[in-house]
Amino acid sequence: MGGSYDARTLTGATQKEIEKVWNEMVEDDLHENGHSYSGSIGMLGSGFDLHGGMFSTENEADDYISENQDKWDGAMAVRILNKNGDKLTLRIGGWCSS
């Protein structure tokens, strides 16, 4: 069984707000792509672990997540610099079983 990297960028007022949207996206993905080995975010499950640090771009965030998250772990989230500064922006993802 292989793995595919998949991630999303979400912005919200709070981590709790972002987590709610993430969980809805995971449920939608499970419904659309199935509950096993789809290679997409449904395989990461609901919730995420927020790691420290701040990244300037999605590519930098993806590099960090892809190097530090394992396929059978849940989603990992990192902060991305929000130029407006008024909202929290997270890159959330990881290796999804496929």
Banded model confidence at residue 82, pLDDT cuts 50, 70, 90: confident
CA separation for the pair 17, 70 (Å, rounded): 25
Banded model confidence at residue 75, pLDDT cuts 50, 70, 90: very high
Does residue 1 carry a pLDDT above 70? no
Q: Which two tokens stand for residue 81?
A: 């610099």
Using one digit for the tens of pLDDT, what is the confidence trace for 38-60? 889 999 999 999 998 899 999 99
Task: Rank 1-5, 52-56, 59-63, 82-86 by mean pLDDT and report only the highest.
Answer: 59-63
| pLDDT recorded at residue 68 | 96
Residues of the domain holding 49: 3-97
CA separation for the pair 86, 17 (Å, rounded): 14
How many domains is the chain partitioned into structurally? 1
**In sequence order, what E strands does the chain have?**
3-12, 48-55, 75-80, 88-97
| pLDDT recorded at residue 38 | 82
Task: Rank 1-5, 61-65, 68-72 by mean pLDDT and report only the highest.
Answer: 61-65
